[in-house]
Amino acid sequence: MKLTNSLLVGLAASIAGAAAFDINCNSNYASYYGQNSARNQKQLGEYCKDATEDVIVLAFMNGFPNILLNFANACETTFDGSSLLHCPNIAKDIKYCQSQGKAVVLSMGGAAGSYGFSGDGDAISFADTVWNMFFNGKATQRPFDDAVLDGIDLDIEGGSGAGYPAFINQLRSHYASDPSKKYYIASAPQCPFPDAYLGSTLNSAWFDMVYVQFYNNYCGLNAYPTWFNYGDWDNWAKTKSVNKNVKIFIGAPGSPSAASSGYVDGSTLSTVYNAVRANYTSLGGIMTWDVSQARTSGLASSIRSMLNA
């Protein structure tokens, strides 16, 4: 099909009109996608047709360094003769979401999986693999074809902490080799401070965003204000973090069924968010688990409204 001049102008205007993700804001909304938590997960691109989320976190690479990917009903096809997922539909949607100004990152880990490094050498080698398979490198098999992700998220909930700083440092060296775009390192620790699995890594490696899970723990959103401990994370950001401009996100369940504990309604979450915004400059916004839950319950639209207020 040949594009007319008017269509080309309209397409360019549409892309230009999509507000690009700005990490320096305190009003960003990140949400996880891929595990079909609400059992009604849509195609990724459907969630990028409006301005609700700013960051989509693909969940999960739940096995590494022997790579296992799991995106539930969003991708079930593999490369011929391999167990490695090949996800052309997600690849197409990653590029669409990016064209709408959203960042798309891949989460490594999760509550269930087989992952971890034997040491720094193992981690450094795997960082090279990740760059080649998911970013601007080259590999024979790329799960998302020619789509180039915006970053990596570490949701480490098991195993040892060995190798993660080396992994991050090596991946960031690859990031630096491509000045054409901004790449990110994120993590999703549990709210008890310090995090049991990533505590030492958080103190020794660079992070751009930290999605603190304020649920399934005594320090969850449901314990606000008594045990809610955002202040501990703000203090870490300003005194211990390698990146003193790291952004901390308030992690929330997207609905009552999205977590064992910690869910609060939109009104309560707005109260917490506004209090944090008024007192802590480290705030980056809100994160939810997951997009299917938050969209179905209506919490996602409430979050977008409070962030825009």
- Does residue 152 carry a pLDDT above 70? yes
Mean pLDDT score of the chain: 94
The one catalytic residue among 46, 53, 76, 157: 157
pTM of the predicted model over 0.85: yes
- Cα–Cα distance, 15 to 56 (Å, whole number): 18
263-292 pLDDT, tens digit each: 999 999 999 999 999 999 999 999 999 999
- Does residue 11 carry a pLDDT above 50? no
55-75 pLDDT, tens digit each: 999 999 999 999 999 999 999
In the block, residue with structure tokens 């595990």: 35
Rounded percentage of the chain residues whose pLDDT exceeds 70: 94
Q: Which pLDDT belongs to residue 19?
A: 76
Provide the sign of the torsion angle of the four alpha carbons 19, 20, 22, 27, taken in this order. Answer: positive
Q: Quick one: pLDDT band at residue 261, thresholds 50, 70, 90?
A: very high
Q: Quick one: pLDDT band at residue 16, thresholds 50, 70, 90?
A: very low
With both helix axes pointing from N to C terminus, report the angle between 164-176 and 120-134 in degrees, rounded to the nearest 10: 40
Q: Quick one: pLDDT band at residue 18, thresholds 50, 70, 90?
A: low
- Does residue 5 carry a pLDDT above 50? no
- Does residue 13 carry a pLDDT above 80? no
- 157 is an active site residue: yes
99-129 pLDDT, tens digit each: 999 999 999 999 988 999 999 999 999 999 9
Mean pLDDT, residues 77-94 taken together:
98
Rounded percentage of the chain residues whose pLDDT exceeds 90: 93
181-206 pLDDT, tens digit each: 999 999 999 999 999 999 999 999 99
Q: Which pLDDT belongs to residue 172?
A: 98
Q: Which pLDDT belongs to residue 274?
A: 98
CA-nearest of 13, 92, 106, 128 to 61 is 106
- Cα–Cα distance, 148 to 42 (Å, whole number): 21
- Does residue 14 carry a pLDDT above 60? no
pLDDT higher at 12 or 116: 116
- Cα–Cα distance, 130 to 246 (Å, whole number): 23
